[in-house]
Structure 1
Amino acid sequence: MAVHNSHPVIKHQTATELYVRHSEWLKNRLAKRYGADEADEVSQETWLRMVPHPLLEDIDHPKAWLLTIASNVARNMGLKRGVRQKYAMQALVERHEQASQLTEVLAQQLLLGLPVPLRDVFVLSRIVGLSNAQIAEQLGISPKTVEGRMTKALAHCAAQLRR
């Protein structure tokens, strides 16, 4: 009975010999699994991890052995990236919250700095969403007065922001 093994047992092979024999195969396999950029990084780290073994004896399936090392490397790299991404995301969320709080404080200061007639028109227009005609009706003023007050309110806010 003939045993057909596509990966013969290679006795007494060095890390360099193993690299020469299987590096292209490993890179191609990793590229399919993780993408070309990740494959380079995983492949390099895989070879670094196996190099300390000066004589690689009794490796029955060198490709499987290399792929196991590469899978562990990729998993470890993924875990590291996951942790970095988690902290980066937390930092982004914190910055966003700080920016939102700052924006809210700034908006409150701008609104409170407006004279009451301008503030009323601004709030009804920009925050409540009423049209100039609706604001005019609600405040008992003409639509032309609403336009004038809105223009003054925006100019006042712009001036405050330029300070």
Structure 2
Amino acid sequence: MSRLIRFNKPFDVLPQFTDPGGDRRTLADFIDLPGVYPAGRLDRDSEGLMLLTDDGRLQARIADPKHKLEKCYWVQVEGEPDATALAALSSGVVLKDGRTRPARARRIAPPAALWPRVPPIRVRKSVPDYWIELTIREGRNRQVRRMTAAVGHPTLRLIRHRIGPWTLDALAPGCWDRLAPP
């Protein structure tokens, strides 16, 4: 039977088990379970849900954009996104590598289950920050950050909350648990 692991990746952790440089934290600092591999990636400076499995088919189904599995992010952005910015995110944003697929974007209150980030984000008293929830069905390199920047609201903090039917729920940063495979 295949194994499926849910992990809450902390900020500044590489989304792989080894570091070519040898001095950065990796998944191996948190998960001591041989034979599982990430199903998709999450940038070093992003936080939140990662799924790991030992099943190649399941890994492909989760990670490959052709399966259009939704990924939902909580994004703290600089400035107040108005209806125009949210509509642009929803209809697709033109990036250097082409237009993104349509997404779902809405403003949200700061997530209730949010943990403090170490180190904290930079705060500027003259520029407010807001949270949006952005749901996409593709996975280009640093896509969410590039999308919010393209509409004038750079990302300050990025947390992946959901991949398909799997969510973080109350899983603390740096913790993992086993899930029943689909």
Task: Find the structure with the greater CA-based Rg.
Answer: 1
Query: Whose strand fraction is larger, Structure 1's or Structure 2's?
Result: 2
Tell me: higher relative CO, structure 1 or 2? Use CA pairs within 8 A at least 6 residues apart: 2
| TM-score range relative to shorter protein | under 0.3
Q: Normalized against structure 1, the TM-score is what?
A: 0.22
Q: Normalized against structure 2, the TM-score is what?
A: 0.20
Query: Whose helix fraction is larger, Structure 1's or Structure 2's?
Result: 1
